Amino acid sequence: MRRKLFSCAIIVLVVLGLLTSLAYFHWTKGVYVSISNNTEKTFKQIDIVYTGGSTRIASLEPNASYGQYVNPHGESDLKIECFDSSGASHSYTVDTYIEHNYSGSIHITMEPDDKMSVVENTKATFWF
């Protein structure tokens, strides 16, 4: 009886582990896009726009960062649209190429003098 109970417990743990792994994979599909604010300004309403969607960051204080996974529906670049603390609108097109189910990361740094730097490490991933 104890052996049967032990076997059932092992099976349940293995199944839970597999389900957890699949859930993690599902919610982390795509490219991790992070934005760092390396300026003295606070940026508000930061939109990361890509093919088939967008995500919004309410605000990004100086020397702060924020990141999120994005998974476009097709071929895409990234566009960053935001407002600075004075209310001025800013728009940046990130010179990158990603597609649905690509993996990796793109790190965007907002620099002083309205400049932006990008470090990209993406690749095609073939998951169904």
* Token pair in block for residue 99: 């597609």
Question: If you compute the radius of gyration of the chain from its CA atoms, what whole number of angstroms results?
Answer: 20
Domain ranges of the chain: 31-123
User: Can you give the pLDDT at residue 5?
Assistant: 77
Place of tokens 């993996």: 103
* Number of other CB atoms surrounding residue 115 within 10 Å: 11
Residue 72 dihedral angles phi and psi, to the nearest 5°:
-65, 160
The percent of residues above 90 in pLDDT, for the chain, comes to: 56
Checking if the pLDDT of 2 tops 70, the result is: yes
Checking if the pLDDT of 20 tops 80, the result is: no
- The tens digit of pLDDT for each residue in 81-126 reads 999 888 999 999 998 999 988 989 999 999 998 899 999 988 886 6
Architecture of domain 31-123: Sandwich (2.60)
Cα(54)–Cα(45) distance, rounded to whole angstroms?
Answer: 12
User: Can you give the pLDDT at residue 22?
Assistant: 64
Which one, of 48, 14, 43, lies nearest residue 30 by Cα?
48
